[in-house]
Chain A
Amino acid sequence: GESVGLHLPTLSVQEGDNSIINCAYSNSASDYFIWYKQESGKGPQFIIDIRSNMDKRQGQRVTVLLNKTVKHLSLQIAATQPGDSAVYFCAEGSQGAQKLVFGQGTRLTINP
Chain B
Amino acid sequence: DTGVSQDPRHKITKRGQNVTFRCDPISEHNRLYWYRQTLGQGPEFLTYFQNEAQLEKSRLLSDRFSAERPKGSFSTLEIQRTEQGDSAMYLCATTPMGLAGGLAEQYFGPGTRLTVT
What's the interface size class on A, roughly? 20 to 34
Q: B residues within 8 A CB of A69?
A: none
Q: A residues within 8 A CB of B4?
A: 43
DSSP class of A's interface residues: helix, strand, loop or mixed?
loop
A6 CA to B42 CA in the complex, in Å? 12
Q: B residues within 8 A CB of A60?
A: none
Report which of A34, A93, A98, A105 forms a contact with B55, defined as CB distance below 8 A: A98
Report which of A34, A99, A101, A104 forms a contact with B56, defined as CB distance below 8 A: A99
Known: A4-B39, A99-B45. A46 touches B103 (CB 8 A): no
What's the interface size class on B, roughly? 20 to 34
Report which of A3, A32, A44, A49 forms a contact with B108, defined as CB distance below 8 A: A44
Are A6 and B102 within 8 A (Cβ)?
no
Task: State the Cβ distance, A97 to closest chain B Cβ, in Å.
Answer: 8
Are A46 and B39 within 8 A (Cβ)?
no
Report which of A5, A51, A95, A99 forms a contact with B33, defined as CB distance below 8 A: A99
Known: A43-B2, A44-B91. A100 touches B106 (CB 8 A): yes
A residues at B contact (CB < 8 Å): 2-8, 31-32, 34, 36, 42-46, 49, 51, 89, 91, 93-95, 98-105
